[in-house]
Amino acid sequence: MLAKEGIKILAFEICLIPFAIFNHYLAIPVTLALALTLLFFRDPDRKIGEGVVSPADGKIDYIEGNRMEIFLNVFDCHVNRSPVDGIVKSIRYTRGSKPPAFLRRENVERNEIVIENGDGTFKVVQMAGIFARRIICYVKEGERVEKGDKIGMIVFGSRVVLEVPEGFEFVKKVGERVKAGETVARKVCKD
């Protein structure tokens, strides 16, 4: 499947194919553009795991306390998913800088989605990078989301933060790659 944000771009590139057929100088750029669009805007079906699931594909590059950060390179799927079932309590978009997404920085352009359920408050932060020109949010305040539902997309390179409430522990480590919908945290059982 293709994310809806990529359909207009793909349609434009398809319109360029006849020109590329008759002008060999356009053939390679048009073919590359088509391939990159299909790669970047792909939206594969996902099997949703148990516990708290990853909101994004990418490499975990930071974990401390209740916070996990995932770096998405240009080859990762950029559709973001809800880590839990719950109600979207708030959405806050903040303008800011757009440094390279592989750098952890403050004051970055971001969209914070807060989801609440019986286990507490979970936060997903979509952060723009130098190539990320848009953060797209699919959900609205007050909306009920199911674990694994699509909640947004960051166009062209990014970072996603997941914050979980007390009583949860991450089961993944820094350096591991994750896919959206894969289990990343579990509730800690108290004896």
Q: Which has the closest alpha carbon to 130: 175, 69, 73, 180?
A: 73
Question: Looking at residue 189, what DSSP letter applies?
Answer: P
Residue 187, token pair as written in the block: 């509730």
Residue 101, token pair as written in the block: 């997404």
Please state the φ and ψ torsions of residue 105, each to the nearest 5 degrees: -135, 160
Query: Between β-strands 183-187 and 52-53, what pairing exists: parallel, antiparallel or unpaired?
Result: antiparallel
Distance between CA atoms of residues 10 and 105, nearest Å: 33
CB 101 within 8 A of CB 127: yes
Distance between CA atoms of residues 21 and 86, nearest Å: 50
State which H helix or E strand residue 90 sits in. strand 86-94
Q: Respond yes or no: is residue 97 known to be catalytic.
A: no
Q: CA–CA distance from 44 to each of 3, 41, 81, 121, 178 (Å)?
A: 9, 10, 12, 28, 14
Which of 54, 82, 90, 158 does the annotation list as catalytic? 158
Q: Where in the sequence numbering do the catalytic residues fall?
A: 158
